């Protein structure tokens, strides 16, 4: 799991990223990101709507899978970004880890979040 200092949640923080952030899109997810001027480390949020999956267990499983990929990629990412990853496809739940990791890495590189 991603460390607490690298996670953020709450409507105020997410609303700021949604309103002011830039976006990178793929077939299963969108990454919204904005530069954080007050922190020296990046923060991430993974959002899975009830419209995607009704079951909280399944939504949380997707969230944990994406957080794990981010945790492994964190040393290679920029240190001053707030990033929200919005999942809008239920196929992420059954997607093999290797494929999901490649999709997430492609979105992050498309957003130019790598060092």
Can you give the pTM of this predicted structure? 0.92
pLDDT of residue 40: 85
Q: Domains for the chain: give ranges and CATH numbers.
A: 4-109 (3.30.230.10)
pLDDT of residue 68: 96
Q: Which residues contact 59 (CB under 8 A, 6 or more apart)?
A: 48, 50, 52, 53
pLDDT of residue 8: 86
d(CA 7, CA 63): 12
Would you write out the chain's pLDDT as a tens digit for each of its 115 residues? Answer: 889 989 987 788 899 999 999 999 999 999 999 998 888 889 999 999 999 999 999 999 999 999 999 999 999 999 999 999 999 999 999 999 999 999 999 999 999 999 8
């Amino acid at each position: 799991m991603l460390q607490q200092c690298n996670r953020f949640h709450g409507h105020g923080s997410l609303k700021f990223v949604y309103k002011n952030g830039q976006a990178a899109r793929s077939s299963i997810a969108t990454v919204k990101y904005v530069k954080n001027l007050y922190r020296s480390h990046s923060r991430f949020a993974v959002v899975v709507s009830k419209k995607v999956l009704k079951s909280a267990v399944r939504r949380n499983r997707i969230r944990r899978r994406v957080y794990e990929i981010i945790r492994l990629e964190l040393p290679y990412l920029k240190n001053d970004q707030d990033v929200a990853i919005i999942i809008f496809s239920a196929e992420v739940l059954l997607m093999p880890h290797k494929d999901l990791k490649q999709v997430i890495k492609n979105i992050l590189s498309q957003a130019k979040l790598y060092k």
